Amino acid sequence: MPNFAKHYILILCLLTAATAGYAQPPEDSIKIPIFRQGFHDRVDRQQDQIDQLDSKKDRFFAASKDEERDFLISRALFQTLDKLQLDIEKDTRITGDQEKKRALVSIEIFLKNYLSNYRKQNFNIFYTPMMVEKFRFGLNMVIDNRPIDSLIQAIPYDVGTSVYHALSDYGPSQNAANILTLKYCRLHPELTFFTLNKNPNVPFADSLIRAMGKKYPEQLYTYSQANNALGNKIRGIQDDDFVKSVVKMSRSKSGQQYFPFLDNIVKGKLSIEDVEAVMDDSVQYFRLLVKTQMEYVERAINKDTALGFRELTAKLEKKAKDVFVTTINGLHNENDAVRFRCLQPLTAEELYYLAVMTNGLIYTSSYTNGVYPMMMKKANNRGDSLLMRLHFDHYRRFISQAAAYNKLGHFLSTFPDQDDAHKLMQAFVNNLENSDGLEDGVDVADSYASITETLKPLADEMLVNVRANYQRNLASNNKRGIAIYNILYKLFLSADSTNKVDLTKELGIPPVYTVPFSSLTNDKGEVIVQVYFYGDKDGQNIFTGFQNMFGAPNWTIDRSNSQWIVIRSVKGKPVVIYANRALPEETGEDDKAQQALGEYLEKNNLRPTVTIHRGHSYYAETTIAYMAPSSRIVFMGSCGGFNLINAILKKTPDAHIIASKQIGKTAINKPFFSIITEQLRNGRDIDWIAFWRSFKSAAKVEGFEDYIPPYKNLGAIFIKAYKLSIGNEETGEQ
């Protein structure tokens, strides 16, 4: 018998002996009056439901993989609450039948809430013993007519809210509720205004408005416009210049236009009139955004973070996309003089932000033929000077983007001192553990696949630098840094197939190079595929061509529904393809069709495991929002970038993602669909390396190199591996 098992049994025996006086249900230890037996039974039924959550009725709740902790959890939920039932019957302080019933009902409510929150994964399961103990303590307090405020103040929010709601029938004080509200706001600062909107009269509302308004100014702006109690409270604050400035903007029809410059306006560096002077000129307004961004970046370097900095960057991204990149992408069939005319007034710095703020949306040709060469020309072909003027803002994203579009070698060659170029690439890899979020790590990961193909010596240097950073973090025991650099090192090694790196074994992630056919089928053995079409002119033409791919003798098409079609395999394994019709986008009919199809699939328990996006990149977010979490293969066509890849992985963490850095081409997409649907019809596992060879052979047109196979989508793999390694610990998830 293993030592742990002996240790566990010893603990079990000792604890069982220690609790022998109350381990049995109360009805076995004391005569329960018949008129209260039903209330004890209600508690027992809740315990039974919890007991069976692990599919075993043994009064042991296997809530985690830690047997000792599970024992403590089980003892709290069963033995301790059994004893509490018995104590209620014996307690001479609880006089009268109704009071004893009320105490028993509080246990039932506690267990009901516990069961509900467990199913929703709303709390830390390891808090269970504390929850039970503090609930027992709180029940004793209310029986003695003592307030539970001090108890609620002293315990974590999850525990406190469990105790508070279980004792709701005893009428806990408003102050106890306020304490919980404040704890929740501290735990979830981003939800402070949402919470205050429901609880506007808490005594600390003004203090939270002032503090969180500076952290989330756009939320302050939005809620200050509301004609309700919270809106009145915000507008009533007259001794805070920041709050007053936001309120003033919120009352203006053009408030959102002023908002990115909030900090400079509050400090008197910029006036409302200055913004109004450029508001109707898209170039001049974009110029002011860039100028302010550069100022704020310089301030941040000096530890002076401007209020509303995130909102400024978000507006800069929106204008870069809506005003410029959407225009030049849309003119991809025009000559360069016409296509890039709108870029002519922009400076090198403005073109830089235009590029980095639209990463994943800007077409390859828009970047390589327009934005990049124009930027370098206006920077006098001095990449080093340009980055210095920009204070190296978003430089990792720029390097990753330049690598993806095969311009990094040229950019680095414009450094007169090549030692500076070498230092830049060292900085690119260094100190990722200090970055906010994962985006910088994803930029480094994504760049490597491109760099190793075009700049092999540079890729070799990156590998050495990653290894050195791993050793540095190992020496300082920085868990985040260890995780980041270990993952990057294994990913970079795996990019060379001769290294034979098994990422599943090394990083604990699902298979990268294959998708087993069995993982794509439902209980009936069917593979459900969902295809998203959009109702612009291109989408309607593509929809027609898509249908023509599937005919006798292998496929049949059901066109009886007005909003979608169903394509079924006739021979081989059952494959069912659901595709919404490309109905007119002008009236929103395509969106209605997508929603209706999604509801139909959900209602009939049809879980798509293959999702295909057929539309321009600006439709990608809609596809991701609607796609099923069951998706295991996701073809996104013309999309990329951290935000979209991360959004897909949040929706379906195990997805194998195929993305393109360019506008999708029918001549490339068509063979992809043909190959994958035939492999599915024949019941084959998807082996991406072999698949990609067949795909490349069938799609012999320019642009194929812009399509990235899942095993080379290193950014996506990095996110998966990181979240498995340390992500749950960082986010507090269980």
Q: 580 and 487, same structural domain?
A: no
- Say if pTM beats, i.e. exceeds, 0.85: no
| pLDDT at 457 (0 to 100) | 92
In a shared domain, residues 594 and 657? yes
Are residue 571 and residue 634 in the same domain, yes or no? yes
User: Would you place residue 9 in the very low, low, confident or very high pLDDT band (cuts 50, 70, 90)?
Assistant: very low
Cα–Cα distance for residue pair 183/191, rounded to 1 Å: 12
User: Residue 218 falls within a domain, yes or no?
Assistant: no
| CA pseudo-torsion sign 596, 600, 605, 610 | negative
Dihedral sign, Cα of residue 621, residue 622, residue 625, residue 627: negative
The DSSP line for 6-17 is HHHHHHHHHHHH
In a domain, 519, yes or no: yes
Q: Which of 123, 172, 128 is nearest to 150 (CA)?
A: 172
pLDDT at 20: 37
Model confidence at 463: pLDDT above 70 = yes
Shared domain check, 521 and 484? no
Q: How many CB atoms lie within 10 A of CB 727?
A: 16
What percent of the chain is predicted at pLDDT more than 90?
Answer: 62
Q: In what order do the strands lie in the sheet with 633-637?
A: 555-558, 564-569, 575-580, 527-533, 610-614, 633-637, 656-660, 707-708
**Structure confidence at residue 494 (pLDDT):** 85
- CA 259 to CA 246: how far, in whole Å? 8
Whether 337 contacts 301, CB under 8 Å: no
Q: Is residue 557 part of a domain?
A: yes
Clarify whether residues 49 and 163 are in a common domain.
yes
Structure-block tokens of residue 636: 């996104």
DSSP string, 349-382: HHHHHHHHTTTTTS-HHHIIIIIHHHHHHHTTT-
Would you put residue 360 in left (φ > 0), alpha (ψ -120 to 50) or beta? left
User: What angle, rounded to 10 degrees, do the helices at 174-187 and 157-166 form?
Assistant: 150
Pair (492, 553) in one structural domain: no
pLDDT band with cut points at 50, 70 and 90 for residue 268: confident
Q: Which of 187, 210, 239 is the last residue of a domain?
A: 187
Asked if residue 724 lies in contact with residue 718, where contact means CB atoms within 8 angstroms, the answer is: no
Could you give the CA distance from residue 202 to residue 191 in angstroms, rounded to a whole number?
Answer: 15
What is the distance between the alpha carbons of residues 150 and 237, in angstroms, rounded to a whole number?
31
Task: Tell me how far apart the 2 most distant CA atoms of the chain are, in Å.
Answer: 94
pLDDT given at position 496: 79
**17-21, 101-105, 123-127, 630-634: segment of lowest average pLDDT:** 17-21
Element (H, E) at 708: strand 707-708
Evaluate if residue 45 carries a pLDDT over 90: yes
* Residues 455 and 524 both lie in one domain: no
Q: Exposed, middle or buried: residue 698 (CB in 10 Å: 0-12, 13-18, 19+)? A: middle
Q: Would you call 114 helix, strand, or coil by DSSP? A: helix
519-to-145, 429, 603, 692 alpha-carbon distances in Å? 58, 36, 22, 20
Residues 43 and 130 in one domain: yes
CA distance 356 to 397: 6
Q: Which of 546, 541, 548, 519 is nearest to 530 (CA)?
A: 546
Nearest to 329 by CA among 271, 369, 291: 369
Residues 496 and 596 in one domain: no
- Ordered DSSP codes for 625-669: HHS-TT-SEEEEES--SHHHHHHHHHH-TT-EEEEESS---HHHH
Residues 459, 573 share a domain: no
541's tokens: 């033409």
Cα separation, 402 vs 425, whole angstroms: 13
**What's the pLDDT at 111?**
95
State mean pLDDT over 71-75.
92
Q: Is the pLDDT of residue 6 over 80?
A: no
Residue 398 is assigned to a structural domain of this protein: yes
Q: Which of 187, 212, 240 is the last residue of a domain?
A: 187
Q: Which domain holds residue 392?
A: 333-507
Give the Cα separation of 199 and 195 in Å (integer). 6
Residue 639 has pLDDT above 80, yes or no: no
User: Contact 59/78 with Cβ under 8 angstroms?
Assistant: yes
Taking Cα atoms as reference points, which of 357, 428, 367 lies closest to residue 395?
A: 428
Confidence of residue 664 (pLDDT cuts 50, 70, 90): low
For 507-559, where are the E strands, in sequence order? 514-515, 527-533, 555-558
In this predicted structure, the answer to whether residue 611 has a pLDDT above a threshold of 70 is: yes
Q: What integer is the mean pLDDT of 184-206?
A: 94
265 occurs within a structural domain: no
Confidence (pLDDT) at 446: 86
Query: Which DSSP symbol is given to 496?
Result: S
Q: Which two tokens stand for residue 701?
A: 């047109």
- pLDDT over 90 at 454, yes or no: no
**What is the structure's pLDDT at 58?**
86
Q: Is 215:310 a contact under the CB 8 Å cutoff? A: no
Which residue reads 């709601």 in tokens?
Answer: 165
Question: Quick check: 22 pLDDT over 80?
Answer: no
Same domain, 565 and 428: no
Last residue of a domain, one of 187, 212, 234: 187
pLDDT for residue 1 is more than 50: no
Number of domains in the chain: 3
Residues 217 and 307: beta-carbon distance below 8 Å: yes
pLDDT of residue 732 exceeding 50, the answer is no
Quote the distance between the C-alpha of residue 542 and its chain's center: 31
Among 54-68, 100-114, 423-437, the least confident range: 54-68
Sign of CA dihedral 686, 690, 692, 696: negative
Quick check: 175 pLDDT over 60?
yes
Q: How far, in Å, CA of 415 to CA of 433, rounded? A: 28
What would the pLDDT profile of 665-679 be if each residue is shown by its tens digit? 778 888 999 999 999
Residue 523 class from Cβ within 10 Å (0-12 exposed, 13-18 middle, 19+ buried)? Answer: exposed
Q: Give the residue ranges of DSSP H helices in 52-201.
A: 67-74, 81-90, 97-120, 128-143, 149-154, 157-166, 174-187, 192-198
Answer whether 132's CB lies under 8 Å from 77's CB: yes
pLDDT at residue 700, as a whole number: 79
Decide if 310 is inside a domain: no
Cα atoms found within 13 Å of the Cα of residue 523, Cβ hemisphere only: 2
Pairing, β 575-580 against β 527-533 = parallel
Residue 364 lies in a domain: yes
* Residue in this structure with the two tokens 């610990």, named with its chain if needed: 729
Domain co-membership, 442 together with 556: no
Q: What is the DSSP letter of 553?
A: T
Burial (CB < 10 A; 0-12, 13-18, 19+), residue 88, is buried
Query: Is 248 within a domain?
Result: no
Q: How far apart are CA 488 and CA 722, in angstroms?
A: 10
Structure confidence by residue, pLDDT tens digits, 231-265: 999 999 999 988 998 998 888 877 888 889 989 98
Which pair of structure tokens corresponds to residue 381?
């072909």
Residues β-bridged to residue 558: 566
